Amino acid sequence: MDDASLTNRPDLSAFWMPFTANRQFKADPRLIVGARGLYYQTDDGRQVLDATSGLWCVNAGHGRPEIAEAVQRQLMTLDYAPAFQMSHPAAFELSTRIAQLTPPGLDRIFFANSGSEAVESAMKIALAYHRARGEGQRTRFIGRERAYHGVNFGGMSVGGLVNNRRTFPLLPGVDHLRATHDPARSAFSRGQPDAGAEFADELERIVGLHGADTIAAVIVEPVAGSGGVLPPPKGYLERLRAICDRHGLLLIFDEVITGFGRLGAPFAAQYFGITPDILTMAKGLTNAAIPMGAAAVKREIHDALMQGPPAAIELFHGYTYSAHPVACAAALASLDIYARERLFEHAAAMADPFEAAVHGLKGRAPISDIRNLGLMAAIDLEARAGAPGARGYEALVRAYQAGLLIRVTADTIALSPPLTIGEAEIADLGRILGDVLASLE
């Protein structure tokens, strides 16, 4: 790095970075100053291939002028409108557009500002629905181990990542299914593992323990993302849906990561052919240009709350920035790009080359497992004795230095490139990552 780059760096002391070892980072920072297409530009002038879509979110690639222009137009026309007791046209237009992408029947859209808020909204809607039906005792939620549902108290409580849960008090009345990862039977699986559908049957045990009439909803990621890219075993989601139906439990799909083309379909619900009762989204909704989240809700759930006097507020929940005009503009522009460039179909076409590239790394010394689905993949590295996570962090730093941005959770590498990636960039991804893995001790 040249002296000019160091001189131009900002003071790093004031920003308390999230989910970051702040002292470690600030001793050797990695600063990104630009982005275009599939690449980031670093403050020392290097191009870095984005193999993670930012944080699972820049699905259409970086620096989209259509989104920037839509945001600018909206800011100069209507920068903000109150979300309570009034609204603006773009909120209704966007709701309609989303409802055209979600599975049939999930056509009532409640807006939030992030995936965490979308999950919180879905949980509140589930509770309100049961109360409206005269079953207000249904207050329990069932999550799953190794799940990530954001960092608000509700999402942490139903989530299953230990480090996210151990510092703060959690909501009572939450239980968890076990994770579906079973490397003894499904290591190096390509796509959905053949074994493991029976993991869903544990929901029957939990229902028997607590009583079906106490449970409001089951929430799962169709493919667990931050917990290590865990594709569901064949038949698993079908069994969950059947058990929920049998006992009157709502099924919530958290599609903050899998939504908007990650598996080559609008949502994982369509990819798997399983329709949940509530579906959360964020990230790719605006191509990450402006924060936004939403929950798509079955019409019958929505309509169950549309009772009482017309002047009564049906759901006491919402945010100052729900359906923010500028976020709506970014989302509408993003949906236009997805449709015009047929990016969901392109992602489906790239799934096989991507799978071949990541599984082509099998046999490298530190790798203990590889798994993938759509444009998502995970590579597990053997942990060093007495130093869990050290090898994963070293892979992150070396990959960045070599021109590749990867995501690491402990000793698991997660890959989720923009849907715009082509076979040449997939080959580059595999080559750089292979060299990095070969360099690890």
Q: What is the pLDDT of residues 312-365, one digit of tens each?
A: 999 999 999 999 999 999 999 999 999 999 999 999 999 999 999 999 999 988
Calpha distance 371→202 (Å, rounded): 24
The model carries a pTM of 0.96
Give the pLDDT band of residue 225 (cuts 50, 70, 90).
very high
Reference 253, options 235, 271, 264, 36; nearest CA is 271
Identify the pLDDT of residue 268: 98
Residue 176 to residues 207, 256, 434, Cα–Cα distance (Å):
11, 20, 36
User: pLDDT exceeding 70 applies to what percent of the chain?
Assistant: 98
- What integer best gives the mean pLDDT of the chain? 96
301 within 8 A of 128, measured Cβ to Cβ: no
Q: Above pLDDT 90, what percent of the chain? A: 96
Is the predicted pLDDT of residue 175 greater than 60, yes or no? yes
Most distant pair of Cα atoms in the chain: their distance: 69
The predicted pLDDT at position 5 comes to 53
pLDDT the model gives residue 9: 85
Kindly indicate the confidence band of residue 2, based on its pLDDT and cuts at 50, 70 and 90.
Answer: low
Rounded CA separation 7/144 (Å): 47
pLDDT of residue 348: 98
| Nearest by Cα to 371 from 259, 233, 279 | 233
Residue 231 φ then ψ, to 5°: -65, 145
Provide the pLDDT confidence category of residue 180 given band limits of 50, 70 and 90.
very high
Query: What single DSSP character describes residue 384?
Result: B
What does the DSSP 8-state code read for residue 273? Answer: T
- Region label for 27, one of left (φ > 0), alpha (ψ between -120 and 50) or beta (otherwise): alpha
Query: d(Cα 159, Cα 147) in Å, to the nearest integer?
Result: 5
pLDDT, average across residues 50-54: 98
Amino acid at 139: T
Which is more confident, 297 or 364?
297
Say which amino acid occupies 434: G
Alpha helices in 112-161 (DSSP H): 115-132, 153-158
CA 235, 238, 240, 243 torsion: positive or negative?
Answer: negative
Domains of the chain, CATH where assigned: 3-60+342-439 (3.90.1150.10), 66-340 (3.40.640.10)
Contact present, 51 and 417 (Cβ < 8 Å): yes
Gyration radius of the chain's alpha carbons: 22
Give the span between the Cα atoms of 44 and 49, in whole angstroms.
15
Give 65-109 pLDDT, tens digit per residue: 999 999 999 999 999 999 999 999 999 999 999 999 999 999 999
- 397: β partners: none
| Residue of 288, 294, 293, 270 lying closest to 333 (CA atoms) | 288
Q: What mean pLDDT comes out for the span 245-264? A: 98
* Number of C-beta neighbours around residue 109 at 10 A: 22
State whether residue 241 is helix, strand or coil.
helix
Phi-psi region of 366 (alpha: psi -120 to 50; beta: other; left: phi over 0): alpha
Host H or E run for residue 331: helix 325-340
∠ CA 32-228-276 to the nearest 5 degrees?
105
For residues 238 and 321, the answer to whether their CB atoms sit within 8 Å is no
- Close Cβ partners of 195 (under 8 Å, ≥ 6 residues apart): 182, 185, 186, 233
pLDDT mean over 369-385: 97
Amino acid at 97: R
Model confidence at 215: pLDDT above 70? yes
